[in-house]
Amino acid sequence: MSVEYGRGGALHPVARDLAVPVAPVDVTAPCSDIFDRLMEDAALMHIPVLDGDVIAGLVSRQQFMLTYASLYGRDIFGRKPITELMDSAPILVEAALDCEEVNRRLLQFDLQSSDVQGFIVVEEGRYLGVAAITGLLAVIANVMTHRAEELELARQRAEAASKSKTQFLASMSHELRTPLNAVIGFADLICKQTFGPVTPAKYLEYVEDIHASGSHLLSMINDILDMAKIESGRFGLREDVFDPVDTAIDIVRMFMPEMKERQLQFRICGIRGEDVPYVRADERHMRQILLNLLSNAVKFTPPGGRIDLCTLRHENGDLSIIVEDTGAGIPAHMVERVFEPFEQVECSFTRKTSGTGLGLPLARAMMEAHDGTLTLTSEEGKGTRVMARLPAERVVQRKAAALRSENGNWPGVLTA
């Protein structure tokens, strides 16, 4: 749509854009002359009345005809001045006033027969033209339509830009990871002193820092790239059958030194041993989910606190892994926001958290890719409970899992 309204433009029309320069009549004009003029021009709805240069009133076609065309109207008013049948207190609107503001101001008047009622447009007190309320409403409707179209266009452009960004990031996996893996790999060789001792010993400390920093950076890059793949629709699952508790315990071992240092209590509860079923899922992604959940629990639990890792089999066959802590908790207004990419929560003992703010969004997206759910409940100052729940279709009893795994009947790559 391309609509222009004078100086105001399509999105900001003003009263001047509505003004129709209808020739005014003098206050002394007889009603019969007004009748003749209205009969000659069926489209004429309003006639302004002036007393010299001063606006005296406005004649409305509908109101005039109702009176003048009545049984004795012509005989009574034919020779009388138009002042007898005009509105002597018409609505005056400044030409520069925005049409939406005009509409707001007109709402305070009791406008009978609003489909034909009009007003006079003035500029510094001088008559400029007349306008109908129907015309005003049509212009406002045009403006709203035009704005809606522009907003939709802006939304489409924003989506296209976002899609381009995520596609770019998703395709950068090799370019970003390869050189960083080389840095980490060489640092690891030096740390292990594979080709001989490193002297002086201070250099070894620096290399260990390089290795740790590189690994941390790689982890953040992996998070960003995984989120980009999810947003661009290029996220896939490489499924296998495995014991989820064994996987969880492997992840827990990674945090044991830090938990011991901070005197955090850790407890595993729920179904154990042979009672734990296998699951059919992408093990790397499940490890990433548990890693993110445990990382948050350790990060936000103060020294002396407790972290629980529990497994739960639901009546309908679903399997849940629950990570619960006695940490700082999340304010009620932030509970949903933590699932938005790059959102982070601060607490008294971790003023500025490290990471990308993608841990929970990624974990939820990965669970949804497995047709599962990730839910979080939290109370500020008391702790947080996160439940990763897989549907019964992905839960397999140990014997069935072993047979299927031997026969190689599990699908390889599924697109989420």
Instruction: Return the CATH superfamily for domain 15-140.
Output: CBS-domain (3.10.580.10)
Consecutive 10-residue averages of pLDDT for the chain (416 residues):
42 86 94 94 92 92 90 90 92 89 80 64 92 86 87 88 70 72 86 86 85 79 74 78 90 88 90 80 91 90 93 93 92 82 59 62 90 93 94 81 41 28
Instruction: Return the CATH superfamily for domain 240-396.
Output: Histidine kinase-like ATPase, C-terminal domain (3.30.565.10)
**pLDDT of the residue at 81:** 94
**pLDDT of the residue at 170:** 61
- Length of the chain, please? 416
pTM: 0.52
**pLDDT of the residue at 409:** 38
- Spell out the residues 6+ positions from residue 337 whose beta carbon is closer than 8 angstroms to its own: 343
**pLDDT of the residue at 115:** 41
CA dihedral sign of residues 375, 373, 315, 249: negative
Give DSSP secondary structure letters for 30-41: BHHHHHHHHHH-
Cross-strand partners of 375? 387
**pLDDT of the residue at 412:** 32
Q: What is the Cα–Cα distance from 56 to 89, expressed in whole angstroms?
A: 8
Give DSSP secondary structure letters for 266-335: EEEEES-GGGSPEEEE-HHHHHHHHHHHHHHHHHHSPTT-EEEEEEEE-TTS-EEEEEEE-S----GGGT
**pLDDT of the residue at 30:** 95
Instruction: Domain ranges for the chain, please list them.
Output: 15-140, 160-232, 240-396
Q: What is the Cα–Cα distance from 278 to 271, expressed in whole angstroms?
A: 12
Residue 319 in 3-state DSSP?
strand
